Amino acid sequence: MDKPEGFAAQYPREEHGWIKFPSDVATRRSLFVPEAMEHPAKAQLHLVDALVEYLTQPGDTVIDITAGTGSILLAARKGRRVVCIELREHYAHLIHQSAEKMGLAPMQYVVLQGDCRKFLPITCQAIIFSPPYSQTLASHSGMIRKDPKMDRSYGDYQGGEGDLGSLPPFAFNQEMRRIYQMCLQSLTRG
């Protein structure tokens, strides 16, 4: 079967050209441990899969520097080596559990628990991640909803070593700039 042309070409677009990825809830439930559903910011699995296909080849190393519950493990299922960096021990443990549920061998993935700034740069061909939320910036833009479940979930990342979310906007942006520079240093040329 031929690969569709362009990024995520197999998915429909809406009138402005935005990709309409289908829901990933059933896929997530089939691949990940149930506790992974509690994470407040899960990456859309079809988007992650499309990025892996578009940006990498089998044998490449792919990193997620804010791995959460390990959505990037999809890349390991496609023959890529995966490095997950997760700040919180609880979620790093869930990544291991989900990898086991998927039947991944330990040589297919690595989970590093801690602040990504302590691990980067790491040589790789792609880095796929969503930046951490800044509690301060997000609350000003109305992104963070004030319901008990969301407050508890975002609270998992507030405070403690490596937390960027509660930094003032200027400091948050400075640290993200530093992280992006380390990401750039991680990527192989080409």
Structural domains in the chain plus CATH codes: 25-186 (3.40.50.150)
What pLDDT is stored for residue 146 in this prediction? 46
In contact, 71 and 51? CB cutoff 8 Å? no
Question: Kind and range of the H or E element at 117?
Answer: helix 116-119
Q: Which of 116, 162, 165 is nearest to 143 (CA)?
A: 165
What pLDDT is stored for residue 166 in this prediction? 78
What pLDDT is stored for residue 177 in this prediction? 95
Beta strand pairing call for 126-127 and 81-86? unpaired
| Separation of alpha carbons 21 and 86, rounded Å | 26
What pLDDT is stored for residue 163 in this prediction? 82
Q: Is 76 exposed, middle or buried (0-12, 13-18, 19+ CB in 10 A)?
A: buried
| Separation of alpha carbons 167 and 170, rounded Å | 8
What pLDDT is stored for residue 165 in this prediction? 78
Each residue's pLDDT expressed in tens, for the chain with a length of 190 residues: 455 578 999 999 999 999 999 999 999 999 999 999 988 889 999 999 999 999 999 999 999 999 999 999 999 999 999 999 999 999 999 999 999 999 999 999 999 999 999 999 999 999 999 887 665 545 544 444 444 554 444 455 666 777 887 788 899 899 999 999 999 999 998 7
Task: Tell me if the pTM is above 0.75.
Answer: yes
Strands of the sheet containing 61-64, edge to edge, are 109-113, 81-86, 61-64, 126-127
Q: In 138-176, which positions are buried (b, 16+ CB within 10 angstroms) versus exposed (e)? A: eeeeeebeeeeeeeeebeebeeeeeebbebeeeebeebe
Q: Which of 137, 136, 121 is nearest to 83 (CA)?
A: 121
